[in-house]
């Protein structure tokens, strides 16, 4: 009976991959660049992936672009800064990042910048669990054969897990982006799994790990958002699960080449320049400039792209609303932006990323990257001396290792005010459970670096209906301003870094359309699931 069921499951729903979809320019006959002699000034607030993406498209088409970045480093959640450790300069990132096959906009930018050589493949994903044997998971073949392959290779899963979980298949197999968003944003993904009677083993080993690395509280994550993640990273095509990592630090891999290219296009990148509010013309409702923390920018801009993280955007708009309390027209439109959209947006819990230099190395069977969904507060462990060149050189020279521990939803377990000196001792009991070898062989901590953040957008249930699109504020009469970022809503499946890059391009396209310059095409994940046959 099980054999018959497996044959039915494998063949009845076997399908070809769903091709990505082009969003082509709506103005294909317009010129590629601004007319010679015409100047258009654009202010981009935020120097992360969204801001850099918008700047790239606009600067290439003749715009005069200024980026204002609050911090002393560029890149947002991809930032990378030099740090003196062990009498050597190391470039330390925000944390580990993976780049997936369906990141079409970023792949396009990589090709344009000529930086493909700075990436390498990351194959199978290694997991450890408290109540299951370790898993090595990779997707191979079209859906659902990829799932059946995972089950057949798994030391924990059984075919009956998939069969018992068949109630969940329609929402994935017949995935419909718009329908799913309307139907499932009001429940969590965990509640969805209970409704669909997903087998516990299948949920724990396949679904729960994906939730654990979203930087959100797994218990509150929207079912609609997670089902989109599943399409993007797993089901869309046979290669959806394939990913790459950088083989050098992210300043060398991405940010340096990107900013160098923008500077050649005369983009003015202002670091450590915090925008505290925006300027609005009280008659036209045009957003035309910014007030900065250290000065009043007297420049007048034709367009503004708000590409900061969600917490910063809320702060800027709240400050702006306070300033225009005596201007009814401005106050009304800003109140709409704040109360009906930004007021509902939330920031996910705080998190810490600790990179440790040891005097010894783990055994050769330890994977480069290990996901640890059952070992909170540690969600992921990455061996950087096996990933990036500068750490590899140091490790080969010293015999040591550089290992990074990602601790999401930190304050669910420890005080947010824990000092950097306390972090290692706080996570030591969990590290012992993950890699007892570190303690059995008396690894010595030579140095460490801790990044602490509370800047990632929340994707808990119920927020999708309030999440603004790139052009939402312009549609409610706040003119000349567009949004971009990984927290901004899109009309197609997108997530994380690719959403930031895509919304940056969308914001640029809105400006290009208004100025009658040909828009840039976007290649995006299909809104429909594989379907039958």
Residue ranges of the binding site for FAD: 275
In this structure, the dihedral spanned by the alpha carbons of residues 41, 46, 47 and 52, taken in order and rounded to 10 degrees, is -60
Phi, psi of 277 (to 5 degrees): -165, 165
The 3-state DSSP class for residue 359 equals coil
Residue 245 has a CB neighbour count (10 Å cut-off) of 18
Annotation: binding site? 275
> Token pair of 255, please?
């940010």
Which class for 417: exposed (0-12), middle (13-18), buried (19 or more C-beta within 10 A)?
A: exposed
Structural contact between residues 46 and 499, judged by C-beta atoms closer than 8 angstroms = no
Residues with Cβ within 8 Å of 332's Cβ and at least 6 positions away in sequence, in order, are none
Of residues 152, 164, 165, 155, the one with CA closest to residue 131? 155
Structural contact between residues 273 and 127, judged by C-beta atoms closer than 8 angstroms = no
Residues with Cβ within 8 Å of 393's Cβ and at least 6 positions away in sequence, in order, are none
> To which H or E segment does residue 23 belong?
strand 21-23
Structural contact between residues 267 and 67, judged by C-beta atoms closer than 8 angstroms = yes
Find residue 81's DSSP bridge partners. 92
Of residues 384, 431, 349, the one with CA closest to residue 83? 384
> Token pair of 522, please?
């976007």
Q: What are the helix (H) ranges across 366-419? A: 389-398
Structural contact between residues 221 and 214, judged by C-beta atoms closer than 8 angstroms = yes
Total residue count of the chain as it appears in this document: 533
DSSP code at position 289: E
DSSP code at position 391: H
Which class for 331: exposed (0-12), middle (13-18), buried (19 or more C-beta within 10 A)?
A: middle
Q: What is the DSSP track for 95-146? A: S---EETT-HHHHHHHHHHT-GGGEEEE-SEEE--SSS--EEE---SSTTHH
Residue 293 has a CB neighbour count (10 Å cut-off) of 11
């Amino acid at each position: 009976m099980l054999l018959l069921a497996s044959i039915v499951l494998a063949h009845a729903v076997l399908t070809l991959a769903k091709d990505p979809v082009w969003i082509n320019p709506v103005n294909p006959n317009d010129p590629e660049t601004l007319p010679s002699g015409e100047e258009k000034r654009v202010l981009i607030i935020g120097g992360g992936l969204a801001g850099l993406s918008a700047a790239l498209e606009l600067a290439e088409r003749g715009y005069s672009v200024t980026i204002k970045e609050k911090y002393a480093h560029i890149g947002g959640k991809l930032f990378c800064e030099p740090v003196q450790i062990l009498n050597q300069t190391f470039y330390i990132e925000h944390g580990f990042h993976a780049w997936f096959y369906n990141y079409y906009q970023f792949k396009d930018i990589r090709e344009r910048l000529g930086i493909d050589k700075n990436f390498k493949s990351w194959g199978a994903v290694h997991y450890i669990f408290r109540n299951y044997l370790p898993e090595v998971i990779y997707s191979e073949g079209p859906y659902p054969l990829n799932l059946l392959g995972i089950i057949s290779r798994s030391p924990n899963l059984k075919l009956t897990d998939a069969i018992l979980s068949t109630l969940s298949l329609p929402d994935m197999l017949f995935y419909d982006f718009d329908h799913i968003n309307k139907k499932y944003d009001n429940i969590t993904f965990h509640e969805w799994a209970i409704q669909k009677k997903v087998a516990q083993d299948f949920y724990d080993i396949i679904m729960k790990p994906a939730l654990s690395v979203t930087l959100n509280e797994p218990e509150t994550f929207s079912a609609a958002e997670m089902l989109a993640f599943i399409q993007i990273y797993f089901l869309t095509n046979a290669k959806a699960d394939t990913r790459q990592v950088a083989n050098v630090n992210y300043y060398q891999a991405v940010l340096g080449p990107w900013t160098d290219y923008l500077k050649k296009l005369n983009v003015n990148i202002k670091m450590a320049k915090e925008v505290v509010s925006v300027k609005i013309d009280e008659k036209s409702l045009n957003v035309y400039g910014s007030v900065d923390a250290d000065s009043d920018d007297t420049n007048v801009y034709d367009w503004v792209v708000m590409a900061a993280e969600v917490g910063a955007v809320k702060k800027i708009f709240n400050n702006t609303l306070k300033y225009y309390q005596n201007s009814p027209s401005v106050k009304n439109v800003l109140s709409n932006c704040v109360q009906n959209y930004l007021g509902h947006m939330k920031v996910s819990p705080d998190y810490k990323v600790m990179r440790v230099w040891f005097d010894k190395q783990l055994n050769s069977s330890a994977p480069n990257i290990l996901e640890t969904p059952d070992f909170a507060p540690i969600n992921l462990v990455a061996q950087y001396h096996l990933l990036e060149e500068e750490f590899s050189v140091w490790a080969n020279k010293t015999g040591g290792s550089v290992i990074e521990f990602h601790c999401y939803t930190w304050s669910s377990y420890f005080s947010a005010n824990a000092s950097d000196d306390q972090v290692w001792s706080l996570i030591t009991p969990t590290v012992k459970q993950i890699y007892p070898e570190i303690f059995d062989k008396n690894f010595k901590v030579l140095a460490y670096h801790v990044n602490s953040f509370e800047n990632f957008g929340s994707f808990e249930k119920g927020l999708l209906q309030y999440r603004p699109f790139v052009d939402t504020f312009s549609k409610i009469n706040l003119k000349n301003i567009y949004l971009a970022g990984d927290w901004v809503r899109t009309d197609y499946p997108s997530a994380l870094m690719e959403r930031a890059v895509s919304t940056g391009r969308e914001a640029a396209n809105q400006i290009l359309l208004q100025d009658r310059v040909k828009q840039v095409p976007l290649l995006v994940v299909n809104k429909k699931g594989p379907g039958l046959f």
